[in-house]
Structure 1
Amino acid sequence: MTTRNLTSEDFETTVAENEIVLVDFWAGWCGPCRQFAPVYERASEAHPDIVFGKVDTEAEAQLAGAARITSIPTLMAFKDQVLVFSQPGALPAPALEELIAAVRALDVEAAMRDAEASHERMGA
């Protein structure tokens, strides 16, 4: 699968209907965004079972604001509708592959249970 443009109209549906969704928030004037684009595209071709979305922050300013994007590129990863990764900066190909492997391996329900238990132990 290749990357696909996401908009405010299809962002939530895309995340809800797919197990793993990676989203690259970018802009055409952003040099690091342009450098990251081919790395992201190659990863999308290597992992056709994952949705690789792109959000043009200029065209989708409201969506970028809702996602609290303050720096681009920013890469987000969703698994089972849960945001499991969000980081600004262009990743090199090996780091992107490590991220993909980590997201695939992540047990979201177990991670959420662990987080709740930790929260309770802290007395919150």
Structure 2
Amino acid sequence: MATVELTADSFEKTVTSNDIVLVDFWADWCGPCKRFAPVFEEASENHPDVVFGKIDTEAEQQLAAAAQITSIPTLMAFRDSILVFSQPGALPGAALEDLIGQIKGIDMDELHAKIAAQNGAPQNGAPQDGSAPA
């Protein structure tokens, strides 16, 4: 699957309706962004089960600001709508492949449980007051 251009209108729907989404924040004037583009594109061809999106930070300044992008290129990865990776800098092909493997290998049940615990949500359907589930 080739990369897709993401905009403020398509970003949320893309992230929430796909299992794994990698997002490359870039700009046309950015040399490292231009060098990373073919690496990102090649990975998109190797992983048709992953959505590879690109956001032009010049055209989508509000979206870049909302994502707190301060350096480009920045790569973000979402799994089940959860941000699991965010890092500025261009990755070499082997490092990007390793990252994709790690994202695919995340135990999402465990991650959801950790998030629930951090947010103080009940685990396994148990009420927060300690009483037995109804």
CA-to-partner distance for each residue in 1:30-82, whole Å, 9 max, x for gaps?
00000000000000000011000000000000000000000000000000000
Report the Cα distance in structure 1 between the residues aligned to 2:9 and 2:117, rounded to whole angstroms: 36
Distance change >3 Å, CA 115–CA 38, structure 1 → 2: same
Q: Report the counterpart of residue 30 of structure 1 in structure 2.
A: 30
Report the Cα distance in structure 2 between the residues aligned to 1:35 and 1:20, rounded to whole angstroms: 23
User: Deviation at 1:112?
Assistant: 3.8
Q: 1:110 is aligned with what amino acid?
A: E
Q: Report the counterpart of residue 132 of structure 2 in structure 1.
A: none
Greater relative CO (CA pairs within 8 A, separation 6+): 1
User: Deviation at 1:107?
Assistant: 1.6
TM-score (norm 1): 0.91
Q: Give the SS at the match of 1:110.
A: helix
Report the Cα distance in structure 2 between the residues aligned to 1:63 and 1:25, rounded to whole angstroms: 10
Q: Report the counterpart of residue 6 of structure 1 in structure 2.
A: 6
Matches within 5 A, 1:1-124: 1-114=1-114, 117=117
CA-to-partner distance for each residue in 1:63-121, whole Å, 9 max, x for gaps?
0000000000000000000000000000000000000000001023302423665798x
Normalized per residue, the structure richer in helix is 1
Report the Cα distance in structure 2 between the residues aligned to 1:108 and 1:84, rounded to whole angstroms: 11
Structure 2, unaligned runs of 5 or more: 121-134
Please list every run of at least 4 consecutive aligned residues from structure 1 whose deviation after the TM superposition is greater than 3 angstroms.
114-120
Report the Cα distance in structure 2 between the residues aligned to 1:57 and 1:119, rounded to whole angstroms: 32
TM-score (norm 2): 0.85
Distance change >3 Å, CA 118–CA 4, structure 1 → 2: closer
Structure 1, unaligned runs of 5 or more: none
Rg larger in structure? 2
Q: Give the SS at the match of 2:34.
A: helix
Report the Cα distance in structure 1 between the residues aligned to 2:118 and 2:54, rounded to whole angstroms: 34
What is the number of equivalent residue pairs in this alignment?
120
